[in-house]
Amino acid sequence: MTPEQFRAHGRKVVDWIADYLASVEEHPVRAQVSPGEVRAALPAHPPEHGEPFDAVLADLDRVVLPGITHWQHPSFFAYFPANASGPAMLGDLLSSGLGVQGMLWATSPACTELETVVVDWLAELLDLPSRFRTDERGGGVIQDSASGAAVVALLAARQRAGEGRHRVYVSSQTHSSLEKAARVTGIGAENVRVVDVDPGSLAMDPEHLDRLITEDLAWGFVPTLVCATIGTTSTTAVDPVPRIGEVCRDHGVWLHVDAAYAGVAAVCPEFRWCNDGVAEYADSYVTDPHKWLLTNFDCSVLWLGDRAPMVEALSILPEYLRNAASSSGEVIDYRDWQVPLGRRFRALKLWSVIRWYGAEGLRAHIRRCGDLADRFADLVAADPRFDLDPHHPFGLVCFRPRWPGASQAESDAATTELMERLNDSGELYLSHTRARGHVVLRFAVGSPATEARHIDAAWQRIAAEYDAVMAERKD
């Protein structure tokens, strides 16, 4: 494709995306295809001869779009959001256009230095401790995901802990990526200890953590990393980081703080409480702009107070990568801050987002979602047919229908049926979890496209479908 052909097709692609975003509401939120349908509509073999790019766009409409679940739909309330935005998409396109592979400072100095500036900017926007800024010891780095960041944090923690039989501490509410990190690093799932949670708040119990670590020390294990979560995946529970941090400090254990979803809320001063204890105790901290901060996947930022153990764990210097800049010690080579060698110029999209919205625009986005979540919670709270989880500090609201006279198993089945019927309708999309023994519905507000009318319409739809399920149960 020549630059002129690229210009012509590129315009069509940008138009296609703009039309898609302008009309995304017209699609059913969740893909309505059955397994295998998309694959069956595509040729089994690659083309021998090149095709016009228009043919790709035609198939995008014909085959791909029906198989898409529309994460940018204003009535997408499932899981956590995966925000996209114009500036992020354009930044990503520029990254593709430059085609840079930024494994070393020397392979594109701007790729490294822009990333350093942008992660320092984000640390400042979130009011993270100054020791996370890129200076002599600390620093941030963009990873593919919070899961990848957990692997890096665990490798660093293990490096600092030294040899021995390592143990990792999580709660039943910790994201599964920590167990995966334990497996990937060879520490093993059997060495992941599950700390109790408070039955009401579902937050980690620091006293139980202390007991488990003390027990493990007596048995000769090496307590290596504790993961505290700010905004758990199921219900956005918040672990007591200050008290967990004290336990970690007493025993010299690495504290990793996973704020993958909720951490970005700290762009707003009224959400800064979610950083409590991070400045004093966290060895590493991760949050995902690709969830709730308007930055297209993938963009997860990991900060460390001391990057030395990470670099020691991950740095290997084969002859073919040697260069004067790296040897001078004056530059950062981000390949030593992640598992893969190669890396995209992801900083461009985060840079574009921060510059386009500014701090005030980012704050407005978070606040709007928080207000809309409160609006939904108020609707649930006012309705005797439903039980609201009163803890909804961010954009996620958990609630559950009441099924009078039903056993626990029947209630769970009816709640699941309600959710499936709603999701099948294509009018909205929500997800579920199990909390405090019950199947619970999760309604996460996070899309920049969502307005009050979508919240109200979703609520009316949920209430009407509840009545329909209830009526059928009575028959």
* Contact set with ligand PLP (CB under 6 A): 80, 145-147, 175, 177, 229, 232-233, 258, 260-261, 288, 300
Closer by beta carbon to ligand PLP, 284 or else 300: 300
Least separation, in Å, of the C-beta of 128 and ligand PLP?
A: 17
Output 177 or 352, the one with its CB closest to ligand PLP. 177
Q: Which is nearer to ligand PLP, 222 or 237 (CB)?
A: 237
**Residue nearer to ligand PLP on the CB measure, 139 or 289:** 289
In the numeric block, the tokens 């923690």 are attached to: 157
What is the C-alpha to C-alpha distance for residues 168 and 213, in angstroms, rounded to an integer?
A: 9
Nearer to ligand PLP, 176 or 315 (CB): 176
* First and final C-alpha spacing in the chain: 63
Give strand ranges (E) for 231-322: 254-258, 284-287, 300-304
Distance in Å, CB of 260 to ligand PLP, minimum = 3
- Chain centroid to Cα 212, Å, comes to 29
Q: How far is the CB of 452 from ligand PLP (least distance, A)?
A: 26
Cβ-contact 205, 172 below 8 angstroms: no
* Displacement of CA 265 from its chain's centroid (Å): 13
Closer Cβ to ligand PLP, 105 or 292, answer by number? 292
Which is nearer to ligand PLP, 214 or 431 (by Cβ)?
A: 431
Residues β-bridged to residue 434: 439
Burial of 408 (0-12, 13-18, 19+ CB in 10 A): exposed
Using CA atoms, how far apart are residues 155 and 159, in angstroms rounded to an integer? 6
Q: Within 13 Å, how many C-alpha atoms sit on residue 350's CB side? A: 32
H/E stretch holding 399:
strand 396-401
* Shortest Å, Cβ 37 to ligand PLP: 26
CB of 398 to ligand PLP, least distance (A): 14
How far is C-alpha 150 from the geometric centre of its chain's CA atoms? 12
Rounded to a whole number of angstroms, the minimum distance from the CB of residue 227 to ligand PLP is 9
Shortest separation between residue 178's beta carbon and ligand PLP, angstroms: 8
